[in-house]
Structure 1
Amino acid sequence: MFSASKLTQEQKEALKQWAAEGATMSDLQRRLKDDFDHTLTYMDTRFLILDLGIELIEEPKVVKKEEEEKPAPVPTGTVTTTMDTLTLPGALVSGKVTFSDGETGVWMLDQTGRPGLDPDTPGYRPTPEDIKEFQIQLRDLIQKSGL
């Protein structure tokens, strides 16, 4: 294990300067090797930085536009329910639903007839009115399919 006491005051100041210039932990590790011939593990470098009280400057993470903001659902004012032509595994029937506020999800009836709804937005809860309309449309779809 490497100790900060093995560094001269000049080397400690150099580390602080590099960090102030935006060097990363890996940069400091490499420069300790290249400039001062001190070979440290990444963990030793990390402990050294902590011992010397050096704070690294973190660059703000660049977030891609699509990660930054998901497109808001487009409210349609109506509930639309469709049935899949290729049923989900383990389901008797399955399909997709778009609620009046534009939120979407996948629905299914399992082999025992239990309904399931998996909204695309985690934690989403449709309004009671939308649930009622969804149930009506679901019943109509199932009757038309002959199940």
Structure 2
Amino acid sequence: MFSTKQLSEEQIATIKSWAAAGARLPDIQLKMHEEMNLPITYMDTRFVILDLGIELAKDDVAVEVPDDLAQEESHTGGVQVTMDDMPLSGMIVSGKAVFSDGERAIWTIDQNGQPGLEPETAAYDPTEEDIVEFQKQLRALIQSLRE
């Protein structure tokens, strides 16, 4: 397991500058490996970021989810899926989804690999087509973590 004690002050400053410039967790992991010659796992990178108290930009993987009402009203259809840089507590990964009808949900995968989908509207049930597209985009996001 990797520890922040293995990092020099210069390396810590560099990691903080990457985050300040908008680097995402996978970007930081890759840069630590390539530029600092530190082969580090995604999970260990997460812990380093947490240990150093670094704030990362939120939800900048894939397509951005609209935040205000005007943007929601202009939703053009299709499914949009994003992944959180810092997963929700107790989850391996989490993120947000906007379905073709504009309905929004939070998705999670827990430490047992169990998926979850929590729509904002209690009884909302996405269409079969939206679920297929959601799964396709989610697979692509998770695959990007492995690369």
With normalisation by structure 1, the TM-score equals 0.49
The higher radius of gyration belongs to 1
